Amino acid sequence: MKQTIFTLSLLCVCMAATAQDMRLDSTDVFYKHLELNEIVVTGLAGDSKMKEMPAPVSVIRPTDLAARTGGNIISTVAAEPGVSEITTGGGISKPVIRGMGYNRVVVVSDGIRQEGQQWGDEHGIEIDGSAIHSVEILKGPASLMYGSDALAGIVIFHPEPVRAPGEVSGNISSEYQTNNGLKAYSLDAGGNLKGWLWNGRFSDKKAHAYENALNGKVANSGYRERAASGMLGRNGSWGYSRLRFGYYHLTPGMIEGEGDNFGYSPELPFQQVRHYKIVSDNTFRLGSGNLKAILGWQRNRRQEYEEDAGEAGLDFRLNTFNYDFRYQSTLGRGWKTAFGLAGMSQESENLGEEYLIPAYRLFDAGLFATATKSFGPLTMSGGLRTDVRWLHSKALEGRFDEFSRRFPGVSASLGAVCPLGEHLTVRANVARGFRAPNLAELGSNGEHEGTFRFELGNRDLKPEYSLQGDLGVDFTSRYVAIQASLFVSRIDHYIFAARNGDLSDEGRPVYAFRSGLARLRGGELGIDVHPVHALHLSSAFSCVYAREKGGDDLPLIPPPRLFSEVKWEITHDGRLFNNAFVSLNLDWNLEQNHFYAAGGTETATPSYRLLGASAGTDVIIGGKKRFSLYLIGSNLTDETCMPHLSRLKYIDIGNMGRNVTFKLLIPW
């Protein structure tokens, strides 16, 4: 840790000295960050400029997404400071924000929260990465916006924007990865004619077993993914109405550390995951503001095949109905307000012959009011929300008892943003968050296939309540930009699973859910220096420390991480090649010696360094962009990589080794 701080400090000093010595007229860094601050993001009282947000926000723009690679969209997002992932091979990832994942992170897609049984370790996010246009990551308690579960923050996936009036266009994209033979393509077309909107997309992806220097080829790590989506809508002087629908199908192999299947088609054991979605997104102009009404329906079907490819052992079906009604208004004199009602209804069923969690019904509702007010250069934001979640678990003879629980919660937030001169901005925010226990934590009683353990729920668990403070400083000058964020958080009744020393009848270790008082602290520091024209030197450091009061370090906390990059932007206005760049980066994950050791739940994780490089360009022919090419290299030194948050670490299987990705994007 001391070595990392010294390295980062030395890097900061060198970058600052370089910028201080330069006497160039270039203002690229300054204008780049001004442009970023002007980006509109999701705020408490409706859409807000990024520079007005009191809590940390990261934005991944379309060009940044195109220049990254990963087995799924969460792997792509996990490159951001303060964000990491819980992984199961190359096809399944779960987002983690500042050390908190599972039901503590809300994922929003098509305007509603994605509900795909995210309580499970090997349950990923059922979203087609090819359909994502940009990403917002809001760090810190966001329960004011989405109620229970947004304790760590929100990941918002934005779809392709609607076309300009009179435009009919589309694009074709393809991708190939050398390590696991990943082959992917996506076709998209849409238009906007006389106020009528439409769009359609189909995507297909498959990968065979990946390999690394430690294990060679990892058996049964291949997967297949298919997705289709569409949109129909209408724009008018009254507002807009859009109907979105989607289908996602993932077939991943379940890695157990043995076997000889290295092909594209997973063999036993494997999963079949299907996700269906219909969303009605409407905005009506009303008075001085807008009335937003979003209704959504989702069905998630997750089947696990262990001994017979024709009969599922575990078979979960989850139906979710989402609703969100809010009125957003700009009142003048710097006031922006929003108030409304939002929540969801769920019903989960067990359709297989094996059981892990009981079938259940859930309903929750939240009333909220928020406001943003500008006092000259000072912008303040805050609000209040009250939620109630009702949960009824169904009985199953010999396995689950019937029970009902009611979880009330109150969330609040107050923050301020104040520029101190032309170059410096200070942000501060205090928030109270709320999360109700999920059914796995309350009622599990069975072997969790794919996680190598037997799980026992705890019906007496209480809701988690967090109190978090955030402090951020942004400095932007002609040659250097610095963003620093610090946070401290106290979470009452923090829930986690720990080994209790017992073994199940099948010989699996037993993990029981328990809770305690947790304290988390950490932050992110990012530096971007532009010493000469077209050259960027950037570095980002993030860390989080989490400990139970009077006890041990908490489980599943990512290690400190330093990501550094040198990027040369070759041209932005070439006649043949445009937006061309080359870059070299180093992703250094430090050792994790702060782990939950009780009962052998976790072990320490050594550090590792991943060297990467990338290059890309748009190709211009006849004055128009005809296609874009990207070449991305990952783990070029083929270092053994076994992340602390990888579930495969405990069966001695590492992540993917050296990999080169080729991307081709063709607009029309």
Q: What domains are there in the chain, each with its CATH number?
A: 2-667 (2.40.170.20)
Of residues 379, 368, 472, 380, the one with CA closest to residue 412? 368
Q: Identity (one letter) of the amino acid at 511?
A: Y
Of residues 223, 157, 229, the one with CA closest to residue 187? 229
| Residue 7 backbone class (left: φ over 0; alpha: ψ -120 to 50; beta: rest) | alpha
Is pLDDT above 90 for 599?
no
Q: Identity (one letter) of the amino acid at 375?
A: F
Confidence of residue 299 (pLDDT cuts 50, 70, 90): very high
| Whole-angstrom distance, CA of residue 12 vs CA of residue 259 | 48
Of residues 314, 408, 300, 406, the one with CA closest to residue 362? 406
Confidence of residue 4 (pLDDT cuts 50, 70, 90): very low
Q: What is the pLDDT of residues 145-168, one digit of tens each?
A: 888 899 999 999 999 999 999 999
Confidence of residue 417 (pLDDT cuts 50, 70, 90): very high
Q: What is the pLDDT of residues 246-289, one digit of tens each?
A: 999 999 999 988 889 999 999 999 999 999 999 999 999 998 89
Which range (51-60, 197-206, 244-253) has the least confidence? 51-60
Non-local CB neighbours of 496 within 8 Å, separated by 6+ positions: 513, 514, 515, 554, 555, 556, 596
Q: What is the pLDDT of residues 322-340, one digit of tens each?
A: 999 999 998 877 789 999 9
Is pLDDT above 70 for 8?
no
- pLDDT, average across residues 291-310: 94
Confidence of residue 16 (pLDDT cuts 50, 70, 90): very low
C-alpha pair distances (Å), 151 with each of 148, 603, 615? 7, 26, 37
Is pLDDT above 60 for 354?
yes
Question: What confidence score (pLDDT) does residue 37 get?
Answer: 63
Confidence of residue 28 (pLDDT cuts 50, 70, 90): very low
- pLDDT, average across residues 621-642: 94
Highest mean pLDDT among 80-94, 267-281, 562-576: 267-281
- pLDDT, average across residues 198-212: 97
Confidence of residue 36 (pLDDT cuts 50, 70, 90): low
% of the chain beyond a pLDDT of 90: 71
Question: What confidence score (pLDDT) does residue 89 get?
Answer: 76
**In this structure, how many other beta carbons lie within 10 angstroms of the beta carbon of residue 276?**
16
- pLDDT, average across residues 214-221: 95
| Whole-angstrom distance, CA of residue 455 vs CA of residue 200 | 42
Is pLDDT above 60 for 33?
no
Question: What confidence score (pLDDT) does residue 478 get?
Answer: 85
pLDDT, averaged across the chain = 89
| Whole-angstrom distance, CA of residue 89 vs CA of residue 212 | 12
